[in-house]
Structure 1
Amino acid sequence: MVAAAPVLIEAALGRLLVALGVTVAGGAAIDQVRKRKEEADSARTAPIAQTGAQTKAKEKCKECPPDKGTLVTRRWNMSDVSRGYQARITGFAPYTEWNFGGVDFDGFRSSQCLLQEAKALYDQFFDPEDGEPKFFFRLSGGDRKIVRQAQAQTAIVVASSPTRLNWYFMQPMSYRYFTRRFAREGVVAATLLQP
């Protein structure tokens, strides 16, 4: 019966993960469960007191403030390409975003304490000759709207250490322009060209 216990524990844990909606990639989850069980068994058999000096200092787990945010459904008007890009960058389902501190972000990766924003087809709003926004984009306030969005996100990130913010751009002109503009405007987001 004792020999069957690990198999029963793995099976029960697998059913629990499925019930919680956790997807499992192959045997990786089982390997992780087996590793943790071995660590727990090892801890049970280890001596309670050790006479040797401790070589590892215990580190406190770092809290990630955006973990307190929520998934929200947003039906913004955007192209299928833009929606697909946002989903690919963030890993979130289409129409899903992360709201933290009353501000929306396209995505959030808790393990990295990273908030995300993805911009796809924006090069159409820039002059290929000089890389500056086209007249109608400036006139409509399109570039200012994006900067205001980044500034609102920056305010949340700065107040929520150790949170980070990445803005991903699909196309090079908009990436170059907003990288320079964000630097001038004090936006703390890292900008990345991610086609």
Structure 2
Amino acid sequence: MPGPLAIPMASWIAEAIAAALARAAASAAAGAVLGGAATLPGDTPREDSEAKPTDRALPRTGEPCRKCPPDLGMKVRRRHGVNWNAYAYQARVTAYDYDTEYCLWSDEWNWKGIAIGKPFDIDFDGFISAQCLLQETKGDYDQFIGDDGKSESWFGGFKKMSEIIERQASAVHSNPPAKLLWYFQTPNTRERMLPILQRYRVNSVYYP
């Protein structure tokens, strides 16, 4: 993959990527059998809607019990603006559902907890309980980066991205053994965000 990772790739990152590839392959196979079409969730403003406590991620039967703070979170349904590519990319990575008819909502993982003595309430694009891994995906943000590597002054997406990294990192680092991995669909966006990712010790991967 182009470009270095934020830090050397750990085995759990490789496992997360392999899991995403396996889910994508299974989804494609199911679509071929059922004649279904696929698309998925994304990077748009998040609003509260339906929370489903029954969708809490639980350890698989037979796995040893272990403390994973994000397990106390729950899957929620958030409403978004229309962005088909972002939805499709998010779902391909996380395997969470989204609105395939109107592209108005996606399922995400909401986690409430304490970090540095302060409460937090944060949405993540996905969560893999077996790895205690929280996921965040970013679609085609390269479209907002010019040939000179700069973005238009009106576009505030990268500033917002930096704020999300800071908030998520604080929550994760304060609650071991929780882990966080950012997935980027396009390489230039990841390269642009590497300094802030490294500053807050967040692992990332270019996953087109």
2:129 to 99, 110, 120: 110
Q: Residue in 2 aligned with 1:123?
A: 142
Residue 133 (structure 1) aligned with residue 178 (structure 2): no
User: Separation in 2 of the partners of 1:81 and 1:142?
Assistant: 16
Aligned length: 132
2:179 to 144, 161, 164: 164
Q: Is the 8 A contact 1:132 1:177 kept in 2?
A: no
SS of 2:188 mapped into structure 1:
helix
User: What residue identity is the alignment partner of 2:204?
Assistant: T
Report the Cα offset of residue 182 of structure 1.
2.2
> Could you report, residue by residue, the CA deviation over 1:60-118 in whole angstroms, capped at 9, with x for unpaired residues?
74311101100000111141111010000011111100001210000000011100000
- Rg comparison, structure with higher value: 1
Matches within 5 A, 1:1-195: 61-94=65-98, 95-101=106-112, 102-129=121-148, 131-137=149-155, 141-183=156-198, 186-195=199-208
> Hey, which of these two has a bigger chunk of strand by percent?
2
SS of 2:109 mapped into structure 1:
strand
Report the Cα offset of residue 173 of structure 1.
0.7
User: Separation in 1 of the partners of 2:203 and 2:152?
Assistant: 24
What's the C-alpha RMSD, in Å, of the aligned pairs? 1.8
Q: Residue in 1 aligned with 2:10?
A: none
> Hey, which of these two has a bigger chunk of helix by percent?
1
Relative contact order (alpha carbons < 8 A, sep ≥ 6): 1 or 2 greater? 2
User: Separation in 1 of the partners of 2:200 and 2:81?
Assistant: 25
Give the TM-score normalised by structure 2. Answer: 0.59
